[in-house]
Chain A
Amino acid sequence: MLLTIEAKLSPGADLGYLLHKHPDRAYCAELPLGKLHVFYPVVEPDRAQAAIWLEIDPIGLVRRKQDEGPSVTQYVNDRPYAASSLLSVAISRCLGSALKGRSPERPELAKTPLELKASLTVVQSRGGPELFERLFSPLGYKVKAECLPLDPRFPDWGDSSYYQLELTGQQRLSDLLGHLYVLLPVLDRYKHYFIGPDEVEKLLMSAQGWLEQHPEQAFIARRYLLERPDLTRMALERLLPVSDESDDGSHADAVEEALEAPISLNEQRIRAVLEQLELNQVRSLVDLGCGEGKVLKRLLSETQISRLIGVDVSIKELTKAEKRLRPDWLSERQKQRLELLQGSVLYRDKRYADVDVVLLIEVIEHLEPFQIERLTRTLFGEQKPPLVILTTPNREYNQLFGMPTHALRHRDHRFEWNRQEFHRWASQAAKQYGYLFESKPIGELNPELGPPTQMGIFSRQEAEA
C-alpha cells in the first residue's frame, strides 16, 4: 500500500527533517508483517514528495499463528494493496517522531501548517465516496475521491469498493499523519490485531484535539473500535461533555440513544406475547428460534414462569444468549430455571415435549417456503403443545416503512406473508391438527394495510372421546 505526501516548502529537501528520513536515500525497515519503505520521488527547491510504501508479506499474513491476530484465510486478499490499520501501525512505528511533530533541526517548520497533498492509491470505503467527505472535510481537507472500476473486461460488474483518494489542505505534517493514523482503520473496517479496552485509550490519545469537535465522532469511535458496543460506550462517555454537578443518568441515556435505534415495535410484540402468557397462566415455555435471547431476557423477570427453554439452531446465537442470560454470577437455582439448547423447528424434540407453550417469535419467515410443511407437521402434529404463539411480519405494511414492493425486512427473511396468506396457512394447520386459531394484530393498525406484525394464537383442542 502506498501513501504519497507532497508538500510545498523551501527548500523541498527540508521535508526530510520533518519525516526524519534522508531525502537522498531509500529508507527501509523490517516490520513483523512486511517492510516499510520511505523514499522521495520528487525533491525540488520549492516542493518535495515523499512516498511511504508498506510492502506486505502476503504469505506471512495468512500463515501467522492464531494468537498473533485475526487470521486472513485467503491468499487472494487486498491487504497488500489497500490502506489499512497495517499502514497506521507502520507509521507509528517508523515515523513516530514525525507523527508527534518533533523536529530538532526544524522545530518551527514542524509547527507550521504547510500546503500538503496526500494521495492514497487504494482505499476501501464500504460507506461510499461521501464517507471521505464526512470524515475529512471537518478537519479542513479538500477531498477528491475517484472510484476504481472492478474489471474493464466486465463492465456489468460496475465499480469496486476501492477509491483513489487525494486530500489537500493547509495542515501540519504531524496532524496529517495523525488524521490518517486514526481514520484509515475507520475507512477500512479491519484490524490486523485483536483489540481490547486499551484500544479506547489509543483512540482518545491519538485523536486528541480534533475528535472532541468532530461531527462524526460517534461513527468514528464505533468503527475504530470495530463496532464493539462496550468499547464504543467507554469512548463516547469520555468524549461527550459531562456536567459535573448533576449526573442524573441522562448522560448515559443520551449515549444509549446515540447507539440504538428505536425499538418500539419489538417492545409491543413482547408485550402482546406477555399478555397472552398471563392470560393462559403459562408455567413453562420454549422460545423456538430464540436467537441471542432478547425475548427470553424479558420473560426471565416473569416470576410465574418456572421453566424457560431457549432453542436456536445457531451455536453463535446461543453463545450470545448464554452470555446475556446466564452470566457466571447467576445462582445455580436461577440458572436451572432457564435452559438453552441447540435445536431446530424442523426436528421433533423430546427435550421440550412437555411445555405449556411454544413461542415462535419472528421465526417462521426465516424458513424456506418448502420447509413450512415440515415445521407445521412437526410442531402441531408431533410436539403438540397445548399452546403455540407465533408472530410474523405483515408484508402489506412494508410500504408504510417506505420499502420497495418486493423488499423484505431482514436479509435472512425468505418470505413475508400478507394477512390473507398467514390466515390461510394458520387456519389450515389448525384444522388439520386439531387446534383453535385466533389472530391478533400487533402495533399500530392501519385501516387498509393492517398491523406491522401479525400474531397467531393456537390452542390445542382436547381430542373427542
Chain B
Amino acid sequence: MTIIEIPEFSLVMLVGISGSGKSSFARQHFLPTEVVSSDVCRALVADDENDQSISDDAFGLLREIASRRLKNRRLTVLDATHVQPGARPPVLALAREFDTLTVAIVFNLPLEVCQARNAEREDRQFGSHVLPNQQRMLRQTIKRLRREGFRQVYVLDSPEAVAEVELKRVPLWCDKRQDLGPFDIIGDVHGCCDELEALLGKLGYTRVEHLLYKPPTGRRALFLGDLVDRGPRNLDALFLARNMVAKGYALCIPGNHEEKLMRVLQGKKVTLKHGIEKTVAELEAIPETDRAQVIAEAKAFIDSLVSHLVLDQGKLVVAHAGMKQNYQGRSSGRVRSYALYGDTTGEIDSFGLPVRLDWAAEYRGSATVVYGHVPVPEAEWVNNTIDIDQGCVFGGQLTALRYPERELVSVPAAQVYYQPIKPMLSQADSRSLQQQLDDVLDWSEVAGKQLIATRLQRLITIQAEQSAAALEVLSRFAVDPKWLVYLPPTMSPCETSEHPDYLEYPSEAFAYFKRQGLSQVVCQQKHMGSRAIMVVCREPQIACSRFGLAEPAAGVIYTRTGRPFFKRSSDQEAMLDATREALDQAGIFKQLNSDWVVLDLEIMPWSAKAGDLVERQYAGVGTAAQASLAALTQVLGQASSRIPALSGQLQHQQQRLELVSQYRQAYGRYCWPVAKLSDYKLAPFHLLASEGQVHSDKPHAWHLEILSRLAESNPQLFIATAHQYVDLHDEASVTAAIQWWLELTAEGGEGMVIKPADFIVKGPRGWVQPALKCRGREYLRMIYGPDYTQPEHLIRLKKRGLSTKRSLAMREFALGIEGLERFVRREPLRQLHACVAGVLALESEPVDPRL
C-alpha cells in the first residue's frame, strides 16, 4: 500500500500518458470540483474533449479556474498529461503566484496497459506513434520533477500500485486553526531572560525548574521569535522557550535572528553584527565537551519552528514581522521571508537598515495579526494588527498580549542592554496610529455595493447607487467623518387608525407591541423641533485623543443627515459649552467614567433650523390658501344669492377656510425667534454612548432618568422628556395613555413616540421596531395638507403601506447601533464610516416621505 500525504491546501499535478488512469484516479480520491481537467476544458470551449487545435484556449481556461480556486485557498488537482517539458513551468508559476505547495503524482504504467485502455475508447483512436512518444517524455519527466521544483513526488509503477493508494490530507504546518488558545503572546525577548521570567511571573506562570515555567491552567505562552541576540542571556531565552514548547506549555515561531543563528550553527559564514556576536560569545563560553550537544539541540529547535501560525479558527495570525492577508495560511519562500523580515522595499535607509513598508496601514484582513520585529514605543492596534515589540533590549519593555482578552502586560527593562542603531521614534502626535491613518479614507473601500455585517441584522446590503448618493452628501455637506459616529434611523408611524376621524391613534401602536409579545412600553412626548446628534467632549483635547481630529474641539452638533446643525460655529460652541457644564454638574461624566458622551436629542424651536422651509412652504401655503379661499367664499356668497345651488359649495368652502386657520395655528406653535442661547430648548432622550459602552443595553427608563438631570442642572436650556409607562395588559393603563395623547395633541402637539421598555427587543416574531410614532390630528395638517381631515380626503389617505418604512427603520437602527459599537471598540474609521454611510444610503430608498 502506498500512502500519499497531501497538504490540505496544495496544487496537485497528475502526470501520465493518455490512458494511464489519471482521471479515474482523480474521480476516486478528490471531489469533482477539486479536479480541473484539460479534457473537460477542451469540451467547455469547443464541445470536443479531444480537439487538440484549441489547446491554448483550453489551458487558458484551466489556469483561470485553477487561479480562482487557489486564490480562495482551495486544493486544486490538475488533470492533464504534463509530460511535455513545457507543460510544467506554468504549473510551478501558478503555485508560486498563490504561495501553495506542489505535489506531483506520476502514473508510470506499462505502455501496453495504456494502449489497451485507449483501444477500448472510440474517441481515443490516434496515431500509433503518439503513445510511445508520450512514454518517452514521461521517463524524462520522472527524472526531472524534483529538480524542477516539485516538493513532493510520488511515482506509481503499476495498476496495482495505483489501486492500492491511500490518500491522506494533512493540514499545513502553519495551520493551527483548531488551537483556540487562550495565549499569552510575548514579543521580541532578545536575550532579556530576566525580564522574560519576570513577565511570565506577572502573567501567572510558575517556575518548575531552571528555564521551565508552567502556565496557569488552560493558557499557553506564544513566543514571537527573536529570542536571541543583543541581550545578556540569549541562550537561556532560547532554551526556556524550547523547554516550554517541549512540555506543551508554549508555541513558538522564529524571528530573523533565529534564522541567522541557524546559519552560524550550521557553520556558515555570517557577519557577527547586530547582536549575534553576543550569542556567539555565549556559545563559545560553553565548555567544548558540551558545546556540540547544545548546538545540536538549538538547531533541532530552530529547525522545528514554522514561520507563521494561523490559530483560533483563523481569527488569529502570528508572525515575527507581520503577515499580510493574502499570505496567511500559505507556504512559500516569500511567505516565510515576509514572516521573518516583513515587507521591505529592498532599499536601505540612512541607518543602513532595510526600508520597511508600513504593511499594517494597508492591512484589511479579518484575522487579528500579532507581530514584533520593529521596536515601537507603544503597542498600538492598527487595522486589527498589533506590534508588541517594545524594545526591551534597548531599554524599553518586554510586552505580552493576552489573547483573546487583548490586554497588554509589560515588564520594564532593567537597563539598556544594547544601543539601537536608529532611535525609537516617540510620537509627536497625541493621536493613535490608527487615528492618524484614518486621516485618509479610500474611495474603493466605501463606494459601490456594500455588505455590512451587523450584530442585530446580520448582513445589510447597500446598493451601489444608494452608496453613491450617500457619499455625495457626506463629501459635500457633512461634518468631519471622524465626528460622525451615529446617524439616527427613520421611524415608522403606527398603523392607520380605524377611527373615522383619525389617521393615527395610539391604539394601533399598542396593538403592534402586544402582537410582538411585549407587555410594557414607554410613551414619550414627541418634541417638534429638529433632530440632532451631539458629541460632547469633557476637554477639547478629547476631540484629538479619542475622536482622532487634528485640532482640539468641544464636540459637534449635527443633523440627522450628518450636516452641521448650526451655520455659525459660535452657536455650536455656546450650546456645547452649556451642555458640558450641565453634564458635569449632573455628575454624568463621572458616573459613566467617560470623557465624552453622544446624545440623541431634539432641538427646538423647529423654526430655528427649518426656518427657510417654514417660511417658504408652510407659511407660504397658508398665505395662499387663506387669500384664495377668502376670495372664493366672497364670490360664492355673492353668486349664491342668485344661484341657490351654490349655497352648499359656499358652506363647504367656509369650512375649508376654517381648517386653513387651524393649519396655520399648527405650525405657528413650533416657531419662535431665537436671539440668544436660552431661546433654544434641548430635549435629549437617548444617551447613546460613552467610553467603552453603547447604552443600548439599558432600558429607556435609565436614559430618561439620567438625562432628566440635565434639565435639573439647567432648566433654561434643557427640558426633560415627558413620558408614561404603559402596561399593555392593563386596560386602565392603556386608556390613561390614550387620554394623555389626546391632551398632548389637542392644541396641535406633535404626539408621542411609543417604544418598548428596553432599547433593543427581540420578540417571538423577530426584532421589534425600536419605536413607533403616533402623531396628533392637528399636527398632521402640516404633513397631509390643511384639509386632510375632510372625509373624502381622509378615506383615501388611510390607504398607506408601512412595510417598506418598517423594514427600513429596522435596518437603519441595526446600522446605527453597529456604528456606535464599532466606534466604542475603536475600530478603524472606515468600519464606522460604512455604517453611517449605510444609514444615509438607505435614506435614499424611495419611501413615502410622509410616513
Report which A residues bind B (CB closer than 8 A). 1-2, 4, 24-26, 37, 39-43, 49, 51, 53, 58-59, 63, 73-78, 80-82, 119, 121-122, 148-151, 153-154, 156-157, 160-162, 164, 313-315, 342-351, 366, 370-371, 373-374, 377-378, 381-382
Pair A315/B617 contact, Cβ less than 8 Å = no
In the complex, A1→B629 CA distance in Å? 8
Pair A76/B617 contact, Cβ less than 8 Å = yes
Interface 9-mer from B139-147, B238-246, B439-447: B439-447
Q: Which residues of B contact A49 (CB under 8 A)?
A: 635
Pair A349/B439 contact, Cβ less than 8 Å = no
In the complex, A150→B629 CA distance in Å? 16
Pair B620/A161 contact, Cβ less than 8 Å = yes
Pair B621/A77 contact, Cβ less than 8 Å = yes
Q: Which residues of B contact A345 (CB under 8 A)?
A: 475
Bin chain B's interface residue count: 35 or more
Pair A151/B619 contact, Cβ less than 8 Å = yes
In the complex, A259→B622 CA distance in Å? 36
Q: Which residues of A contact B441 (CB under 8 A)?
A: 346-348
Shortest Cβ gap from A452 to chain B (Å): 25
B273 at interface by CB-CB < 8 Å? no
Shortest Cβ gap from A258 to chain B (Å): 31
Pair A150/B623 contact, Cβ less than 8 Å = yes
Mark out the residues of chain B between 480 and 513 whose CB falls within 8 Å of any chain A CB in the assembled complex.
480
Consensus secondary structure, chain B interface? helix
Pair A378/B440 contact, Cβ less than 8 Å = yes
B476 at interface by CB-CB < 8 Å? yes
Pair B550/A373 contact, Cβ less than 8 Å = yes
Pair B638/A41 contact, Cβ less than 8 Å = yes
Shortest Cβ gap from B847 to chain A (Å): 12
Pair B639/A41 contact, Cβ less than 8 Å = yes
In the complex, A37→B785 CA distance in Å? 22
Shortest Cβ gap from B615 to chain A (Å): 5
In the complex, A347→B850 CA distance in Å? 34
Q: Mark B771-810, 1 if CB is under 8 A from A, else 0.
A: 0000000000011111110000100110000000000000
Given contacts A75-B785, A148-B623, 7 further A-B contacts (CB under 8 A): A40-B642, A59-B785, A74-B617, A160-B620, A313-B472, A350-B442, A377-B439
Q: Which of B444, B475, B782 touches A346 (beta carbons < 8 Å)?
A: B475
Pairs across A and B, CB under 8 Å, 21 listed: A1-B628, A2-B635, A41-B638, A51-B636, A59-B796, A75-B850, A78-B625, A121-B631, A122-B624, A148-B624, A150-B623, A151-B664, A153-B668, A154-B619, A315-B468, A346-B441, A347-B441, A347-B446, A351-B444, A370-B480, A377-B440
With A75-B785, A78-B620, A154-B619 as given contacts, are A343 and B443 in contact (CB-CB < 8 Å)?
Answer: yes
In the complex, A63→B796 CA distance in Å? 10
Shortest Cβ gap from B612 to chain A (Å): 11
Report which B residues bind A (CB closer than 8 A). 439-444, 446-447, 465, 468-469, 471-472, 475-476, 479-480, 550, 615, 617-625, 627-632, 635-636, 638-639, 642-643, 645-646, 649, 664, 668, 671, 673, 782-788, 793, 796-797, 849-850
With A24-B642, A43-B642, A153-B668 as given contacts, are A160 and B619 in contact (CB-CB < 8 Å)?
Answer: yes
Pair A39/B627 contact, Cβ less than 8 Å = no
Determine the residue in chain A with the shortest Cβ distance to B638.
A41
Determine the residue in chain B with the shortest Cβ distance to A1.
B628
Determine the residue in chain A with the shortest Cβ distance to B478.
A368
Pair A26/B621 contact, Cβ less than 8 Å = no
Determine the residue in chain A with the shortest Cβ distance to B793.
A59
In the complex, A343→B468 CA distance in Å? 9
Pair B783/A315 contact, Cβ less than 8 Å = no
In the complex, A154→B472 CA distance in Å? 36
Q: Which residues of A contact B442 (CB under 8 A)?
A: 347-350
Q: Which residues of B contact A156 (CB under 8 A)?
A: 673
Q: Which of B620, B649, B787 touches A162 (beta carbons < 8 Å)?
A: B620
Q: Which residues of A contact B617 (CB under 8 A)?
A: 74, 76-77
In the complex, A75→B663 CA distance in Å? 13
Pair B664/A51 contact, Cβ less than 8 Å = no
Shortest Cβ gap from B266 to chain A (Å): 37
In the complex, A121→B633 CA distance in Å? 12
With A59-B796, A348-B443 as given contacts, are A75 and B783 in contact (CB-CB < 8 Å)?
Answer: yes
In the complex, A368→B631 CA distance in Å? 48
Shortest Cβ gap from B7 to chain A (Å): 34
Determine the residue in chain A with the shortest Cβ distance to B784.
A75
Q: Which residues of A contact B793 (CB under 8 A)?
A: 58-59
Pair A122/B628 contact, Cβ less than 8 Å = yes
In the complex, A149→B615 CA distance in Å? 11
Q: Which of B623, B632, B639, B849 touches A2 (beta carbons < 8 Å)?
A: B632
In the complex, A371→B673 CA distance in Å? 32
Determine the residue in chain A with the shortest Cβ distance to B620.
A160
Q: Which residues of A contact B475 (CB under 8 A)?
A: 313, 344-347
Determine the residue in chain B with the shortest Cβ distance to A318.
B468
Pair B785/A2 contact, Cβ less than 8 Å = no
With A39-B646, A342-B471 as given contacts, are A53 and B620 in contact (CB-CB < 8 Å)?
Answer: no
Pair B468/A371 contact, Cβ less than 8 Å = no
Pair B627/A53 contact, Cβ less than 8 Å = no
In the complex, A81→B443 CA distance in Å? 47
Determine the residue in chain B with the shortest Cβ distance to A77.
B621
In the complex, A51→B643 CA distance in Å? 13
Q: Which residues of A contact B465 (CB under 8 A)?
A: 315
In the complex, A121→B443 CA distance in Å? 53
With A122-B627, A160-B623, A315-B472 as given contacts, are A73 and B635 in contact (CB-CB < 8 Å)?
Answer: no
In the complex, A342→B468 CA distance in Å? 8
Shortest Cβ gap from B329 to chain A (Å): 26
With A76-B785, A314-B472 as given contacts, are A347 and B642 in contact (CB-CB < 8 Å)?
Answer: no
Most buried by B among A40, A119, A346, A382: A346
Shortest Cβ gap from B786 to chain A (Å): 8
In the complex, A154→B607 CA distance in Å? 11
Pair B642/A2 contact, Cβ less than 8 Å = no
Q: Which residues of B contact A149 (CB under 8 A)?
A: 623
Q: Which residues of B contact A51 (CB under 8 A)?
A: 632, 635-636, 639
Q: Which residues of B contact A40 (CB under 8 A)?
A: 639, 642
Pair B668/A81 contact, Cβ less than 8 Å = no
Q: Which residues of B contact A366 (CB under 8 A)?
A: 476
Shortest Cβ gap from B418 to chain A (Å): 29
With A39-B639, A41-B635, A81-B628 as given contacts, are A154 and B783 in contact (CB-CB < 8 Å)?
Answer: no
Shortest beta-carbon contacts, A-B, top 3 = A41-B638, A81-B628, A347-B443
Shortest Cβ gap from B652 to chain A (Å): 10
In the complex, A149→B620 CA distance in Å? 9
Pair A151/B673 contact, Cβ less than 8 Å = no
Pair A24/B471 contact, Cβ less than 8 Å = no
In the complex, A119→B471 CA distance in Å? 49
Pair B624/A82 contact, Cβ less than 8 Å = yes
In the complex, A381→B440 CA distance in Å? 9
Q: Which residues of A contact B439 (CB under 8 A)?
A: 373-374, 377
Q: Which of A24, A153, A162 touches B627 (beta carbons < 8 Å)?
A: A162
Q: Which residues of A contact B784 (CB under 8 A)?
A: 75-76
Determine the residue in chain A with the shortest Cβ distance to B673.
A156
Q: Which residues of A contact B645 (CB under 8 A)?
A: 25-26
Pair B620/A150 contact, Cβ less than 8 Å = yes
In the complex, A315→B466 CA distance in Å? 11
In the complex, A49→B668 CA distance in Å? 37
Q: Which of A41, A58, A82, A150 touches B615 (beta carbons < 8 Å)?
A: A150
In the complex, A73→B847 CA distance in Å? 11
Pair B643/A371 contact, Cβ less than 8 Å = no
Determine the residue in chain A with the shortest Cβ distance to B632.
A2
Q: Which residues of B contact A4 (CB under 8 A)?
A: 631, 635
Q: Which residues of A contact B623 (CB under 8 A)?
A: 148-151, 160, 162
With A76-B785, A342-B471 as given contacts, are A313 and B619 in contact (CB-CB < 8 Å)?
Answer: no
Shortest Cβ gap from B176 to chain A (Å): 34
Pair A39/B619 contact, Cβ less than 8 Å = no
Q: Which of A121, A348, A350, A374 touches B628 (beta carbons < 8 Å)?
A: A121
Pair A76/B619 contact, Cβ less than 8 Å = no
Pair B671/A154 contact, Cβ less than 8 Å = yes
Q: Which residues of A contact B469 (CB under 8 A)?
A: 315
